[in-house]
């Protein structure tokens, strides 16, 4: 790579950093990778055109998929982005530039869909093609790298997540993407989408809540009774190895039997079909992280702290509630994070046994080889899991800080 | 005494599993109570042992490939030359876990077609994360005194990696491989929704024909295999930990 021969065609934001540094420009190695990906992404087809939702698509490059002016504008913006990535620029600039480019990319995709759809053609489908995904990946990596290096405080991370989600909602709400094939699938089943969304959230969060209510006391009991501990952890470990599709299916008959045999159970909504078996299966998978982390969390409370509580005349119960559980809280919260992300993903399998959730669209899409339908189920699932992971990571860090200060 | 009992139970379970795979029909009375309307008690649309071997082969190939790539990446980002990629690799590993396996499978289908290939790709991608995380922990938490000693006796970077860092990190890396293999055993069953030849076929056949016996035998075989694999690998882990402690 040429050391000093780089021509000074830098974006205005980058020049400030350069002015302070010696004349030589410093390169960012990840940036070189991202710039390379951007060039590849620009060359690959940006959108795919299909005469209807089942036939294979034909690729359209950016220049073919957009009117001339927006096409040139998008390409230039992405090239500027690549330049910002290649040169060592301030992290905040890299973050803002990548987020701006991401929203531009989304808006351009929506515009391409409108542009490529023939007038009055209700069957034609426009979907993102390889070039779009490569560009999306490159920009997301740049944003993730900037965020990871900025080491923002947890509250700021949640704030940025909220801003990104608000931006996404604004783009969706403006209707700019409505000609895209995924949104045509959505328009055909908007009611079903929100119903399944509700089921999905209910499955993931409901099973987590149940696992907390049952798992934390179980974890505490495991500390008091060593015999219980080995058995519980062994059983829960084995539960984890039962494949999800089998566990979901195996719970149908026992629950159907309970609904039939136990008076009032059916009235509570317990039944062998629908969401109940999925809820119980997810509860089973959730117990291990909750119980194990409760045990680890309480056992990691320093002995001196326990002695101090004893010295102050606390009863065992007071010590548990006022000292041990609060100190164990960050570790239990880490368990919650594991469970929630895992459950949001696993809840997609519930659709296989008629339990509902976003998996309904994924499996319908597989059955009809309609990838837009798969995306309609997969993208919200990933977004939900991703947002939950970020929020809970931030909460874990926030919960850790006061204890770290207290210990210091 | 207790340890010996544990080994005996495991050997017995393994033998029972082998017997079931070899002569499934002789277990028909066990599974018959779970069927309705005279439905077959034992999976009859293919050979169970073939499916089990295929299942293990897919998981094995995916785990080996994932281990090679993940350990390679962990070595790279834990060297000074790759240090600037460390925070990014951590967040990508974190983000990767938020993708549900079924979504990865379904989205790999247009590129790779139905069958084993998308399953292999999904298992490989999922397998990367636990191995990478553990390898990173193993390689970055070695006592500084050990590193200093290796440098002090004049080892080059490559020698230190091969003779000191990797052997000491091996038990932790193995823990990641174990986790990865166990998760893959379960995830491979989902591969059958896109027509991969795994034990998931048995479970799905049971779900679609409302035959609980199929669901039960498919689920049990996968679970027992996963527990046995996990036990063998954690035994190996213990041996290596003891050896690493002595070294």
CA-nearest residue to B81 within chain A is A29
Q: Alpha carbon of A318 to those of A107, A294, A301, A326, B12: distances in Å?
A: 57, 17, 15, 12, 47
Q: Are A200 and A322 in a shared domain? A: yes
pLDDT for B31 equals: 87
Q: What is the mean pLDDT of residues B222-242?
A: 90
pLDDT for A314 equals: 87
How far off is chain A from B152, nearest CA to CA, in Å? 31
Mean pLDDT in chain A?
86
pLDDT for A142 equals: 92
- For residue B199, the chain A residues in CB contact (below 8 A) are 243
**Upper half-sphere CA count for residue A314 (Cβ side, 13 Å):** 17
Q: Are A227 and A371 in a shared domain? A: yes
Residue where a domain stops, chosen among A167, A200, A228: A167
CB pairs under 8 A between A and B: 140
The structure tokens listed for A213 are 């209510």
Q: Do B207 and A244 touch (CB under 8 A)?
A: no
**Residue in A339, A338, A340, A381 with CA at minimum distance from that of residue A361:** A381
User: Which strand (E) or helix (H) includes residue A76?
Assistant: helix A68-86
How far off is chain B from A407, nearest CA to CA, in Å? 22
Q: Residue B247's pLDDT band (boundaries 50, 70, 90)?
A: very low
Looking at residue A27, the DSSP 8-state letter turns out to be B
Q: Are A161 and A196 in a shared domain? A: no
pLDDT for B72 equals: 95
**Upper half-sphere CA count for residue A341 (Cβ side, 13 Å):** 20
A157 is in which domain, residue-wise? 12-167
Q: Render pLDDT for A109-121 as a digit per residue (tens, 0 to 9).
A: 999 999 998 887 8
How far apart (Å, rounded) are the C-alpha atoms in residues B62 and B226? 15
Asked if B23 reaches chain A (Cβ–Cβ under 8 Å), the answer is no
- For residue A243, the chain B residues in CB contact (below 8 A) are 185-186, 189-190, 199-200, 203, 218-219, 222-223
**φ/ψ (deg, to 5) at A8:** -80, 60
Residues paired with residue A48 on neighbouring β-strands, in sequence order? A59, A127
pLDDT for A402 equals: 63
Please spell the DSSP secondary structure of A349-360, one letter per residue: GGGGGT--STHH
Residues 6+ apart with CB under 8 A from B157: B79
The answer to the question of residue A389 being in a domain is yes
Q: Are A371 and A240 in a shared domain? A: yes
Q: Do A246 and B215 touch (CB under 8 A)?
A: yes
CA-nearest residue to B220 within chain A is A242
Using only C-alpha atoms, chain B has a radius of gyration, in whole angstroms, of 21
How far apart (Å, rounded) are the C-alpha atoms in residues A395 and A389? 10
pLDDT for A353 equals: 84
The answer to the question of residue A270 being in a domain is yes
Mean pLDDT in chain B?
88
How far off is chain A from B130, nearest CA to CA, in Å? 13
Q: Are A25 and A102 in a shared domain? A: yes
Q: What is the CATH number of domain B53-246?
A: 1.10.3720.10
Q: What is the mean pLDDT of residues A292-310?
A: 88
How far off is chain A from B240, nearest CA to CA, in Å? 22
The answer to the question of residue A181 being in a domain is no
Whether the CA torsion A257, A261, A262, A268 is positive or negative: it is positive
Q: Do B100 and A344 touch (CB under 8 A)?
A: yes
Q: In chain A, which among 275-294 make CB contacts under 8 A with chain B? A: none
How far apart (Å, rounded) are the C-alpha atoms in residues A206 and A20? 54
Q: What is the mean pLDDT of residues A284-302?
A: 91
CA-nearest residue to A383 within chain B is B98
- Residue B98 above 90 pLDDT? no
Q: Where exactly are the structural domains of chain B?
A: 53-246
**Residue in B183, B176, B179, B187 with CA at minimum distance from that of residue B74:** B176
pLDDT for A408 equals: 44
How far off is chain B from A68, nearest CA to CA, in Å? 30
Looking at residue B23, the DSSP 8-state letter turns out to be S
Asked if A273 reaches chain B (Cβ–Cβ under 8 Å), the answer is no
The structure tokens listed for B235 are 């035994």
- For residue A375, the chain B residues in CB contact (below 8 A) are 107
Q: What is the mean pLDDT of residues A205-219?
A: 95
Report yes or no: A60 and A46 within 8 Å, Cβ to Cβ: yes
Using only C-alpha atoms, chain A has a radius of gyration, in whole angstroms, of 26
Q: Residue A1's pLDDT band (boundaries 50, 70, 90)?
A: very low
State what percent of residues in chain B have pLDDT above 70: 98
The C-alpha angle with vertex B118 and arms to B198 and A360, in degrees rounded to 5, equals 85
- Residue B185 above 90 pLDDT? yes
Q: Are A329 and A221 in a shared domain? A: yes
How far apart (Å, rounded) are the C-alpha atoms in residues A123 and B24? 51
Distance from the first to the final alpha carbon of chain B = 29
Report yes or no: A50 and A121 within 8 Å, Cβ to Cβ: no
pLDDT for A15 equals: 40
Q: Alpha carbon of A282 to those of A203, A238, A244: distances in Å?
A: 8, 14, 9
Residue where a domain stops, chosen among A167, A201, A217: A167
Whether the CA torsion B24, B28, B29, B35 is positive or negative: it is positive
**φ/ψ (deg, to 5) at A50:** -130, 140
How far apart (Å, rounded) are the C-alpha atoms in residues A287 and A218? 9
The string over A283-313, giving b where at least 16 C-beta atoms fall within 10 Å of a residue's C-beta and e elsewhere, is bbbbbbbbbbbbbebbeebeeeebeebeeee
Query: ipTM beyond 0.95?
Result: no
- A315 by Cβ neighbours in 10 Å (0-12 / 13-18 / 19+) ranks as exposed
Asked if A130 reaches chain B (Cβ–Cβ under 8 Å), the answer is no
Q: Residue A292's pLDDT band (boundaries 50, 70, 90)?
A: very high
- For residue A240, the chain B residues in CB contact (below 8 A) are 182
- Residue B70 above 90 pLDDT? yes
pLDDT for B26 equals: 87
Q: In chain B, which among 181-200 make CB contacts under 8 A with chain A? A: 182, 185-186, 189-190, 193-194, 199-200
**Residue in B120, B103, B222 with CA at minimum distance from that of residue A344:** B103
pLDDT for A323 equals: 87
The answer to the question of residue A177 being in a domain is no
How far off is chain B from A315, nearest CA to CA, in Å? 36
How far apart (Å, rounded) are the C-alpha atoms in residues B109 and B115? 8
pLDDT for A249 equals: 81
Q: Residue A272's pLDDT band (boundaries 50, 70, 90)?
A: low
How far apart (Å, rounded) are the C-alpha atoms in residues A346 and A283? 11
- For residue A345, the chain B residues in CB contact (below 8 A) are 98-101
Q: Residue A388's pLDDT band (boundaries 50, 70, 90)?
A: very high
Q: Are A347 and A284 in a shared domain? A: yes
Report yes or no: A135 and A41 within 8 Å, Cβ to Cβ: yes
Please spell the DSSP secondary structure of A265-301, one letter per residue: TGGGT--SSTHHHHHHHHHHHHHHHHHHHHHHHHHTS
Q: Render pLDDT for A325-369 as a digit per residue (tens, 0 to 9).
A: 888 999 999 999 989 999 999 999 888 888 889 999 999 988 888
Q: Are A131 and A216 in a shared domain? A: no
Q: Render pLDDT for B9-63 as a digit per residue (tens, 0 to 9).
A: 889 999 999 999 988 888 888 888 888 777 888 888 888 999 999 999 999 999 9
Q: Are A86 and A20 in a shared domain? A: yes
Count up the domains in chain A and report the number: 2
Q: In chain B, which among 66-95 make CB contacts under 8 A with chain A? A: 84-85, 87-88, 90-92, 94-95
Report yes or no: A278 and A350 within 8 Å, Cβ to Cβ: yes
- Residue A196 above 80 pLDDT? yes
Q: Are A215 and A316 in a shared domain? A: yes
Q: Render pLDDT for A43-97 as a digit per residue (tens, 0 to 9).
A: 999 999 988 877 778 899 999 999 999 999 999 999 999 999 999 889 999 999 9
- For residue A385, the chain B residues in CB contact (below 8 A) are 98-100
Q: Do A382 and B100 touch (CB under 8 A)?
A: yes
pLDDT for B198 equals: 93
- Residue A17 above 70 pLDDT? no
Residues 6+ apart with CB under 8 A from A51: A123, A124
Q: What is the mean pLDDT of residues B100-117?
A: 84
> Could you identify the residue written with the tokens 């837009």?
A372
From B84, B186, B200, residue closest to A241, measured CB to CB: B186
Distance from the first to the final alpha carbon of chain A = 48
Q: Residue B114's pLDDT band (boundaries 50, 70, 90)?
A: confident
pLDDT for A22 equals: 52
Q: Residue A287's pLDDT band (boundaries 50, 70, 90)?
A: very high
Q: Residue A227's pLDDT band (boundaries 50, 70, 90)?
A: confident
Q: Residue A18's pLDDT band (boundaries 50, 70, 90)?
A: very low
Q: Are A202 and A146 in a shared domain? A: no
**In 10 A of CB B193, how many CB atoms?**
22
Q: Are A161 and A89 in a shared domain? A: yes
**3 state SS of A65:** helix
How far apart (Å, rounded) are the C-alpha atoms in residues B243 and A261? 56
Q: Do B98 and A386 touch (CB under 8 A)?
A: yes
How far apart (Å, rounded) are the C-alpha atoms in residues A87 and A85? 6
**Residue in B158, B150, B184 with CA at minimum distance from that of residue B64:** B184
């Amino acid at each position: 790579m040429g050391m000093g021969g780089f021509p000074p065609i830098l974006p205005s934001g980058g020049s400030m950093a350069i002015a302070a540094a010696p004349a030589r420009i410093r390169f960012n190695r990840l940036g070189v990778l991202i710039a390379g990906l951007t060039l590849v992404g620009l060359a690959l087809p940006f959108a795919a055109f299909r005469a209807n939702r089942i036939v294979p698509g034909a690729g359209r490059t950016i220049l073919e998929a957009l009117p001339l002016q927006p096409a040139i504008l998008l390409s230039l913006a992405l090239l500027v982005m690549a330049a910002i990535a290649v040169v060592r620029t301030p992290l905040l600039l890299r973050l803002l530039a990548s987020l701006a480019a991401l929203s531009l990319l989304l808006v351009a995709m929506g515009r391409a869909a409108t542009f490529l759809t023939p007038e009055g053609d209700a069957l034609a489908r426009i979907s993102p093609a390889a070039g779009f995904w490569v560009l999306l990946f490159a920009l997301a990596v740049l944003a993730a790298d900037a965020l990871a290096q900025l080491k923002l405080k947890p509250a700021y991370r949640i704030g940025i997540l909220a801003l990104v989600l608000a931006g996404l909602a604004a783009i969706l709400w403006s209707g700019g993407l409505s000609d895209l094939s995924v949104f045509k699938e959505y328009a055909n089943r908007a009611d079903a989408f929100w119903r399944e969304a509700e089921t999905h959230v209910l499955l993931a969060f409901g099973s987590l809540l149940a696992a907390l209510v049952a798992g934390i006391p179980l974890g505490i009991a495991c500390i008091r009774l060593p015999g219980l501990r080995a058995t519980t952890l062994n059983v829960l470990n084995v539960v984890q190895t039962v494949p999800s599709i089998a566990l979901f299916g195996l719970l149908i008959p026992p629950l159907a039997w309970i609904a039939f045999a136990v008076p009032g159970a059916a009235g509570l909504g317990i039944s062998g079909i629908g969401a109940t078996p999925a809820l119980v299966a997810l509860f089973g998978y959730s117990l291990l992280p909750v119980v194990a982390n409760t045990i680890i969390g309480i056992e990691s409370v320093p002995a001196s702290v326990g002695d101090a509580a004893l010295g102050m005349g606390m009863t065992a119960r007071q010590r548990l509630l006022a000292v041990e559980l609060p100190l164990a809280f960050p570790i239990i919260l880490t368990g919650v994070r594991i469970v929630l992300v895992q459950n949001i993903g696993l809840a997609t399998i519930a659709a296989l046994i008629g339990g509902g959730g976003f998996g309904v669209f994924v499996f319908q899409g597989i059955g009809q080889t309609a990838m837009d339908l798969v995306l309609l189920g997969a993208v919200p699932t990933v977004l939900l899991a991703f947002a939950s992971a970020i929020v809970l990571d931030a909460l874990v860090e926030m919960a850790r800080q006061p204890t770290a200060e207290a210990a210091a | 005494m207790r340890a010996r009992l544990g080994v005996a139970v495991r050997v017995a379970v393994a033998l029972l599993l082998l017997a079931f795979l070899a002569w499934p029909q002789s277990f028909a009375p066990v599974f018959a109570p779970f069927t309705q309307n005279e439905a077959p008690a034992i999976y009859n649309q293919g050979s169970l042992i073939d499916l089990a071997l295929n299942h293990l082969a897919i998981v094995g190939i995916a785990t080996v490939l994932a281990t090679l790539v993940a350990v390679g990446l962990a070595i790279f980002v834990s060297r000074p030359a790759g240090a600037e990629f460390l925070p990014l690799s951590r967040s990508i590993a974190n983000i990767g876990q938020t993708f549900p396996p079924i979504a990865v499978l379904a989205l790999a289908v247009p590129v790779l077609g139905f069958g084993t290939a998308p399953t292999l790709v999904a298992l490989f991608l999922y397998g990367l994360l636990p191995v990478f995380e553990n390898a990173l922990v193993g390689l970055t938490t070695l006592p500084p005194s050990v590193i200093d000693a290796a440098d002090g006796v004049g080892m080059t970077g490559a020698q230190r990696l091969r003779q000191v860092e990797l052997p000491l990190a091996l038990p932790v890396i193995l823990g990641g491989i174990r986790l990865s293999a166990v998760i893959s055993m379960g995830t491979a069953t989902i591969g059958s929704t896109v027509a991969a030849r795994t034990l998931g076929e048995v479970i799905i056949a049971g779900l679609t024909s409302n035959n609980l016996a199929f669901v039960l035998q498919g689920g049990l075989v996968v679970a027992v295999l996963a527990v046995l694999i996990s036990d063998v690998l954690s035994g190996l882990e213990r041996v290596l930990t003891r050896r690493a402690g002595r070294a």
